[in-house]
Amino acid sequence: MLITEKLGVGCMADNVVVVKNLKKYFPLKLPWLEAFLKKEKPMVKAVDDLSFSIKKGEALGLVGESGSGKTTVGRSIIRLIEPTDGKIEIGKKNIINLTENELRKERRNFQIIFQDPMASLNPYMTIGKSVIHPLEIHNIGTPKERKERVLEIFEKVNLIPAKEFFNRYPKQLSGGQRQRVVIARAIITNPKFIVSDEATAMLDVSVRSQVLQLMLEIKKEYDLAFLFITHDLASAKYICENIAVMYLGKIVEIAPTKELFENPHHPYTQILMSSIPVPDPNFKKKKIIPKGEIPSPTNMPTGCRFRTRCPYAKKECEDVDMSLQMINERHFSACPFF
């Protein structure tokens, strides 16, 4: 709670998305006999007490390895999965308290772009129908206006000639084109906020930069708030004003992009930084290698969750809580020793 307020000092009014103390726990599946006998069900803490805010026209990068819980964050803040606890405001609306029906109506204001564009499109619907569908659901415009709007958006996302694309099926498109369709579908209702869940991870490198460019453009044009979930710090750097680094359900560091790259504080962030390839062959970087594998979320280390892999771990790490410490006004880190 503290952090969000600090992060948004002085310009609270600009915050499109405010997330406070978000938690998402999954019950662990047990064999029936054990499940029957155990009273307290063990939980997997996929997202554990997360807070952040995103301003209008800004993107927050959420960076972490697979298994860090970043995808769960993206899905629970738009209630595609129900969060266990926490407060979520999108465009001043409290999302948590909405009934199913209200939530459905509210969904025109926030959208999500998934990782796999082929899987995100109904194979039995033409892409025109897929993109027009949100307008139909929310009853926006007349059928004629809707179609015009779709064609207009298709041109914007560079699906040209738009009229020809309208009647194609997803399998007739390339991966990059499909992701453009998904982006078109996401922005057609003029949302305020978009979650991008690894949206470029499955695309070829050449296509990836084009799609990133497109996302940057639409972010500017629609003044969108973006939550950019990725495991790739370089793409996050390209799009985001701020970056949050996640590890095992916790944010370990959050800072403006430039600041984070120039002055990474948390050991985990430093490790991530050191693994980005640098195009300059003369540049010798100090490589820090983490120890071992990411621990299972069912069996989390006590204290600092990163300590089992941290090259600087010491005894005290076993009882630190992972609350964020202020480094400077807009830079916070969860490591008290570094």
Partner 1 sequence: MISEKLGKNIKQLIGDSSGVMFLIGLFLLVIFIIMAVFAPYIAPYSPIKPTGAQLLPPQVGHIMGTDNLGYDVFSRVIYGSRMAFSIAFIATIIAAAIGIPTGLIVGYVGGKLDSVVTMIMDSIYTFPGLILAIAIAAMLGQGLINISLSIAVVYIPTYYRVIRSQVATIKSELYVEGAKAIGAKPKTILSKYILPNVLPSTIVVLSMNIADAIMTEAGLSFLGLGIAPPTPDWGYDLSKGQQFILQNDWWLVVFPGLAIILIVLGFSMFSEGLNEYLNPNIGEKR
Q: For residue 324, with 0-12 CB atoms within 10 Å meaning exposed, 13-18 middle and 19 or more buried, which class applies?
A: buried
Of residues 52 and 110, the one with the C-beta less far from partner 1: 110
Q: Where are the alpha helices (H) located in 157-256, listed in sequence order?
A: 162-166, 175-187, 205-222, 233-239
- Residue by residue, DSSP assigns 42-100 as PEEEEEEEEEEEEETT-EEEEE--TTSSHHHHHHHHTTSS--SEEEEEETTEESTT--H
Residues 189 and 33 sit within 8 Å (Cβ to Cβ): no
Distance in angstroms (rounded) separating the CA atoms of residues 57 and 15: 10
Should residue 122 be labelled a site residue for partner 1 when binding is judged by CB under 8 A? yes
Of residues 14 and 106, the one with the C-beta less far from partner 1: 106
Q: Which two tokens stand for residue 157?
A: 């996302």
Stretch that binds partner 1, among 121-129, 161-169, 219-227, 246-254 (CB under 8 A): 121-129
Nearest one of 262, 261, 271 to 313, comparing CA atoms: 271
52 phi and psi, to 5 degrees? -165, 170
Should residue 181 be labelled a site residue for partner 1 when binding is judged by CB under 8 A? no
Residues 251 and 290 sit within 8 Å (Cβ to Cβ): no
Name residues contacting partner 1, limited to 80-99 (CB under 8 A). Answer: 80
Should residue 108 be labelled a site residue for partner 1 when binding is judged by CB under 8 A? yes
Of residues 158 and 189, the one with the C-beta less far from partner 1: 189
Should residue 121 be labelled a site residue for partner 1 when binding is judged by CB under 8 A? yes
Residues 184-223 as x/- pattern, contact with partner 1 by CB under 8 A:
-x---x----------------------------------
Of residues 143 and 161, the one with the C-beta less far from partner 1: 143
Stretch that binds partner 1, among 35-43, 111-119, 172-180, 245-253 (CB under 8 A): 111-119
Of residues 185 and 219, the one with the C-beta less far from partner 1: 185
Should residue 272 be labelled a site residue for partner 1 when binding is judged by CB under 8 A? no
Distance in angstroms (rounded) separating the CA atoms of residues 42 and 28: 6
Should residue 116 be labelled a site residue for partner 1 when binding is judged by CB under 8 A? yes
Stretch that binds partner 1, among 24-32, 116-124, 160-168, 273-281 (CB under 8 A): 116-124
The residues, any chain, with a CB within 8 Å of residue 230's CB and separated by 6 or more, are 61, 62, 63, 196, 198, 200, 201, 236
56, 87, 93, 138: which one contacts partner 1 (CB under 8 A)? 138
Stretch that binds partner 1, among 25-33, 108-116, 233-241, 314-322 (CB under 8 A): 108-116
Nearest one of 178, 197, 315, 299 to 307, comparing CA atoms: 315
Interface residues with partner 1 (CB under 8 A) are: 78, 80, 103-108, 111-112, 114-116, 119-125, 133-134, 137-138, 182, 185, 189
